[in-house]
Amino acid sequence: MKSYIFLDRICFFAHHGVGEQETLAGNEFTVSLRLQVNITPAMQTDDVADTVSYADVYEAVKAEMKVPSKLLEHVGGRIVKRLFGDFPQIENIELKLSKRNPPMGADIEAAGIEICISREATAIAT
């Protein structure tokens, strides 16, 4: 059985961007996560200690979103590294990070990045 914990379209106001105006004024961002976690123990015990608390995941993502970066790729990389570091139960992460209405002269709702990475891949890369 594969099982997942997800957080869908968490909204943040942050100061990420290449342009000076973006870092000064800030913008709205959304983060969606799908975390592969074995939830079987929690299904049996009804104890949050046997799973990954999505409230704790939110706090970790919130902390990383507060750190200004030029590139969303950098922010996404930090979030992934933090989640794998803080939550050893996470086997795989799917992350979508979007900047709402990016300043690029286009009629566009959002632009961003998606990352899908396993803990094994991060162990090999380091």
d(CA 20, CA 82): 27
Task: Give 55-115 as a DSSP string.
Answer: HHHHHHHHHHHTS--S-HHHHHHHHHHHHHHH-TTEEEEEEEEEEES-SSSS--SEEEEEE
Catalytic residue among 66, 70, 96, 99: 99
Residue ranges of E strands in 24-121:
27-37, 90-100, 110-118
The answer to whether 99 is a known catalytic residue is yes
Residues annotated as catalytic are 99
